[in-house]
Chains A and B, each alone.
Chain A
Amino acid sequence: MRFRHRRDGPKAEMDMTPMIDMAFQLIAFFMFAISFSQNEQDERVMLPDSVLAKPANQPLKHPVTLHLTRTGNVIYGGQELPALERLRPYLVNERMVLQGRNRTMEDATVVIRADRLARAGVVQKLIQMCQEEKFEKFALRAQEDIGP
């Protein structure tokens, strides 16, 4: 069977303009919607809800973020520590960093992101340990309750 070759026929061209328009629209949307502050969030921790949990107007000066899982393990810098006491050297280190920058302990805020099912006693022990390392400002983090 022989096929005829169309050499002089019109070329079929796809109009790419709408697709590129859409692609750029999507990129622009994602670029504006992405938040790099999510770096301090952790999927292993599910925060409790509160209607009063509103984002702060200005960022904290020197935040020290500690995550507490429901099993009572602390996550610091992405690393899950098997015991609460293992956190102490890191807190000492944070204090040294502050002192190295000529800042007082009042400038630092310990942000506690505890799981909603974590035990209150463990949270209090965590706060107590931070206090023993001279931290005095704490921020108990909750997620905004947007209702049903």
Chain B
Amino acid sequence: MKLRRIGKGSESKIELQMTPMIDVVFQLLVFFLFTFRIATQEGDFNIKMPLTTYSSSQTVAAESPVVMMHVRLRADGSGRLRQSGGIVVNGDRVLDSFEQLHNYVIGVIGGHEPSAKADAEVELDCDYNLHYEHLIDAITAVSGYVDKSTGQVNRLIDKISFTPPQAAPGS
């Protein structure tokens, strides 16, 4: 079979129109450039706290976890954690930093069976004006830690609850 050669002799090149494609490509680029945001990853601290166990110490007592810690967080006038004695555990143990709290929790939890660890509970009692970041610091200190050699998260206490909110100052 013989194929005819089109345009024989005339040597006319078929030129692809690139302009519309480049236009669209740049439009897309500009769109992505303006909508792109560099955001750090986010994670959640899960808290299961139905209303019945929120303010009822009787309910908590009925379940009677092996390890129950009451952590009081005290704020200074500007909402920051007090420099000295900002953390009080179980009403008598006064701590100055979240690192101390973390070590305290490890000391308490370490001597118990794994089942007791799972059952351990922390109740947080914060001053009304305390900055939320310190609340998260406290939850981080009692929840676990990152093993620096492996990068794995080791869990400590999962059950976290709050006391009823304190009254706003001046209310």
Contacts and interface: CB of A to CB of B under 8 A. Distances in A.
B104 interface: no
Interface in A70-102: none
Contacts of A116: 131-133, 136
A24 B127 CA distance: 54
A91 B87 CA distance: 34
Contacts of B162: 124, 127
Nearest to A114: B132
A117 B131 CA distance: 5
A123 B124 CA distance: 13
Interface in B113-157: 126-137, 139-140, 143-146, 153
Interface residues of B, number: 53
Interface string B1-27: 000000000000000001001100110
A111 interface: yes
6 contacts: A23-B26, A48-B137, A52-B153, A116-B132, A121-B168, A140-B44
A48 B136 contact: yes
The 9 A-B pairs of least Cβ separation, nearest first, read A121-B128, A53-B43, A30-B32, A124-B165, A139-B44, A48-B133, A116-B133, A136-B50, A120-B126
Contact of A48 (B36, B54, B132, B164): B132
**Interface residues of A, dominant DSSP:** mixed
Contacts of A1: none
Contact of A131 (B28, B35, B54, B137): B54
A12 interface: no
Contacts of A115: 132
B57 interface: no
B166 interface: yes
Interface in B16-60: 18, 21-22, 25-26, 28-29, 32-33, 35-37, 39-51, 54
Contacts of B140: 50-52, 142
A55 B22 contact: no
Contact of A52 (B35, B135, B146): B146
B71 interface: no
